Amino acid sequence: MQDTWTLAIHGGAGTIRRDELTPEKEAAYHAGLEAALQAGGAILAAGGSAEEAVLAAATSLEDCPLFNAGRGSTFTAAGTIEMDAALMTSAGQAGAVTGVTRIRNPILAARAVMRGTPHVLLAGAAADDFAASQGLAIEAPGYFRTEQRHAQLLAAQAAQVVALDHDLPAKMGTIGAVARDRHGALAAATSTGGMTNKRAGRVGDTPILGAGTWADAHVAISCTGTGEAFMRAAAAHEISALMRLAGRSLLEAAEEVALHRVPEAGGRGGLIAVDAAGNAALPFGTEGMYRGLWRAGEAPRTAIHAG
């Protein structure tokens, strides 16, 4: 058990059509996922902590403009970018930020909240200012903008919809990472720009502990999809509850929530989860989910569609 470590990542779930992924685009997504796996997996292989591993993986994905977090985040209906992130560990520590607009890596701000304040969640301009006071990298709004994301906003406004990342022409997504380290500790990190054409000020499930992000002594979870449904279902915490109170296995609990509880709450999406034994589950109820998995003694793997 002490030699066991596991890292799982996701880059969002949605309608990822095979016929719209050119070989070049598909290769780029796999490369982005592989880079994140390598960043986090190298820490775990060297005996580092689950917390540091998920931070490294999440930061790598935030820096990649292919995914909806950090650079490349979605636009609100007002044409602004508002980002959310959360970090939680099996030691009961947690930090989150919501509605931030200037922090290069929101997941690092979530850790700063966890490590440097008695609070769990900071919001808006105050969270930006706090991150700057902690020496985190701050960027002008133009850093986060990509032309693909702006085109996605225009498409959503023309269709008069608020849409998941992968249900519009620019197919990119919310990111997350979960890990179990050699010492048995678990951690979960999630970061997102939210839904395209969302109302300014909207907060989704990502920074809400128990909804989009959760970690305890039994399991670590990061979710992606229709945030309102994940919140109504208390999706991430429900997986832990099913395991602890109903005796469900990790896979059974994760599939129950992703494939049944979330749709019953009016949404869809997927999630990644790792339990205390190092088992992993990556279920999704959409056409695809950008994802990756790396366990000790195995080769790292990335995937987009089922199968």
Structural domains for the chain: 6-305 (3.60.20.30)
Longest distance between any two alpha carbons in the chain, whole Å: 54
Quick one: tokens of 2? 């002490």
pLDDT classification of 169: cutoffs 50, 70, 90:
very low
Question: Can 4 be counted among the known catalytic residues?
Answer: no
Does the global pTM surpass 0.85? Answer: yes
Phi/psi for 138 (5° steps) reads -115, 140
Q: Which residues contact 275 (CB under 8 A, 6 or more apart)?
A: 180, 186, 218, 219, 243, 250
Instruction: Say which of 89, 98, 174, 192 is annotated catalytic.
Output: 174
| C-alpha–C-alpha distance, residues 200 and 185, integer Å | 37
Report the C-alpha gap between 79 and 74 in whole angstroms: 9
Integer Cα distance of 43 and 158 in angstroms: 45
Query: Residue 2: what pLDDT?
Result: 64
pLDDT digits (tens, 9 = 90+) for 237-288: 999 999 999 999 999 999 999 999 999 999 999 999 999 999 999 999 998 9
In the chain, count H helices and then E strands: 10, 12
Using an 8 Å Cβ cutoff, are 59 and 71 in contact? no
